[in-house]
Amino acid sequence: MDAQIGGMVDASVLDKARILPDVVTLGNPLPVATAIVALGGVCLMLGRHRLAVLAVGGPSLTGIATTIFKPLIGRTLNGGFAYPSGHAAAATALGLVVAFVVVNVLRPGPWVSAALLAGGATLTGGAMAVALIVGGFHYPTDVAGGFCTAVAVVVGIALLLEHWTARTVERGLEGFVGRRTAGQRARD
């Protein structure tokens, strides 16, 4: 499967693109950490505190997950652990968080929101994937694993934040509405 997918990427054309090494460098820890801090700061300036938590937590926990998975899975390339790709995961996570911010600010309909989220993850993760495959840093399935890890972690955190906020608001309203009975709490 890796050979088939790798063969579809025309390395002769892409090797001439001098930007590919720069794209790979953007997935290194320092640029990713800088982007995380910048995204978190933008979210705080916009007054979007949950998004700030997602901006910091999503890519950070994605990086931790790929770091833990690599030795557990044990797949190597050129002497280093390769699966899942941390660079592809970081790029995907950051693109997904940016898309969440855009959706939150613009408030488009559900179809446009879904397209923005899918596009944000696919464009950033896809660009990094091509650079990593052509550069010989990863197999195609490595970058697919990184992509999937990022989507699972970032969307999972977003859903947990949404659930936590709904529960917090509900508990906060109890003081205004009155105490709930044990039956009401059990139904929740």
Q: Hey, where are the domains in the chain?
A: 8-168
Q: Which residues of 133-152 are buried (b: 16+ CB within 10 A; e: fewer)?
A: bbeebbbbbbbbbbbebbbe
Residue 14 has pLDDT above 70, yes or no: no
Q: What is the pLDDT of residue 17?
A: 61
Read off the pLDDT of residues 149-171 as tens digits, 9 standing for 90 and up: 999 999 999 999 888 877 666 56
DSSP string, 21-43: HHHHHTTSHHHHHHHHHHHHHHH
- Report the percentage of the chain scoring pLDDT > 90: 46
Pairing of strands 76-77, 80-81: antiparallel
Which residues touch 163 (CB under 8 Å, ≥6 apart)?
Answer: none
- pLDDT recorded at residue 80: 77
Strand partners, 76: 81
Q: What is the pLDDT of residues 97-136, one digit of tens each?
A: 999 999 999 988 899 999 999 999 999 998 888 888 887 7
